[in-house]
Amino acid sequence: MTVHQQEPPSRYRFALETARALGRADGRLEAGLGVDPGPAPVGPWCRGLDPERFAALVWGTAGGDAPAGVVLNASLWYAQGFREAVAPAGTRQEDHPAVARHPSGSCPPPAGDGRSRAPAWRAVPRPRSEPT
């Protein structure tokens, strides 16, 4: 394979990228309407379809039934694309690529009790100096 020839993306990756693109399209529409949807919910429904039907939509008709991985992950990729589209400028993931995020986006921060906490660097004790 030469430098100019690239292997086409796998069907699995293509299906997930399609789900993300659909999420972005729906998110842009939502943002264009000026509605503040709040946090994008991650749930079993995308475009009014349950996970199996949504996976079949993004998998297409040429390859039989969608694999289980597409059924499980397509809604998460859709939600990520939706969040990217409705995020205010400056807070989008592509604006801050070094920000660590859970890949599924399903791990919310702990609720806490409302009290102010010290920064994390203060919570770590300083190393003790060894006697010389």
Q: What is the pLDDT of residue 17?
A: 95
Model's pTM, two decimal places?
A: 0.58
Q: What pLDDT is attached to residue 128? A: 56
Q: What is the pLDDT of residue 95?
A: 46
Residue 7, helix vs strand vs coil:
coil
Tally Cβ neighbours within 10 Å of residue 85.
20
Could you tell me how many residues make up the chain? Answer: 132
Instruction: Please name which of 16, 13, 18, 30 lies closest in space to residue 85, comparing C-alpha atoms.
Output: 30
> Which residues of the chain register pLDDT less than 70?
1-5, 35-45, 62, 89-132
Q: What's the pLDDT at 87?
A: 82
